[in-house]
Amino acid sequence: MIPSFDIILLILLVVTAIVSLRVRDLLSATMIFGVYSFLICLLWAEMGAVDVAFTEASVGAGVSAVFLIATVFNTSRNSSD
Amino acid sequence: MKFFALLAVSVTWCLLIYAARDFPDFAVPDSPANGGKVSNYFLEKTEENSHVPNVVTAVLADYRGYDTMFETVVIFTAGIAIMAILRMTPGGSTGSGALPPAVPRRKRTFDGSELIVSGTCKLLIPIIQLFALYVIAHGHHSPGGGFQGGVILGASFILLAISRNLDAALQRLSEKRYLMLASVGVLIYAGIGVMSLLLGANFLDYGILSQILPATDAAMARSHSMLGVEVGVAFTVSAIMFAIYANLSTAGELKNGL
Report DSSP letters for B76-144, one per residue.
HHHHHHHHHHHPBPTTSSBTTT-PPPSSPPPPP---S--HHHHHHHHHHHHHHHHHHHHHHHTTTTSS-
Which amino acid, B213? L
Beta carbons of B86 and B105 less than 8 angstroms apart: no
List beta partners, residue A25: A78
Residues B181, B141: Cα–Cα separation, whole Å: 25
Residues 6+ apart with CB under 8 A from B113: none
pLDDT for residue B97: 45
SS3 B216: coil
Give the residue-averaged pLDDT of B197-221. Answer: 87
pLDDT for residue B96: 47
pLDDT for B106-117, tens place per residue?
666 666 678 888
Interface of A with B (CB under 8 A): 1, 50-51, 53-55, 58-59, 62-63, 66-67, 69-71, 73-76
pLDDT for B136-158, tens place per residue?
999 888 888 889 999 999 999 99
Do A75 and B103 make contact, defined as CB atoms within 8 angstroms?
yes
pLDDT for residue A18: 94
Do B258 and A58 make contact, defined as CB atoms within 8 angstroms?
no
pLDDT for A44-76, tens place per residue?
998 888 899 999 999 988 899 999 998 888 888
Q: What is the signed CA dihedral for B84, B87, B90, B92, rounded to 10 degrees?
A: 100
pLDDT for residue B102: 58
A37 pLDDT above the threshold of 60: yes
Do A66 and B245 make contact, defined as CB atoms within 8 angstroms?
yes
Interface test with A, best of B233, B244, B247, B254 (most A CBs within 10 A): B244
Beta carbons of B234 and B150 less than 8 angstroms apart: yes
Do B148 and A54 make contact, defined as CB atoms within 8 angstroms?
yes
Spatial CA neighbour of B134 closest among B147, B121, B145: B145
pLDDT for residue B95: 47
pLDDT for A3-34, tens place per residue?
788 899 999 999 999 999 899 899 999 999 99
Round the average pLDDT of chain A to a whole number and report it. Answer: 89
pLDDT for B154-196, tens place per residue?
999 999 998 888 888 899 999 899 999 999 999 999 999 999 9
Beta carbons of B245 and A66 less than 8 angstroms apart: yes
Residues B101, B87: Cα–Cα separation, whole Å: 13
Residues B236, B32: Cα–Cα separation, whole Å: 34
Among A63, A70, A75, select the one facing B155 at the smallest CB separation: A63
pLDDT for B79-129, tens place per residue?
999 998 888 665 555 544 445 555 666 666 666 678 888 889 989 999 999
Among B57, B105, B249, select the one facing A70 at the smallest CB separation: B249
Residues A40, A52: Cα–Cα separation, whole Å: 10
SS3 A2: coil
Give the residue-averaged pLDDT of B35-63. Answer: 85
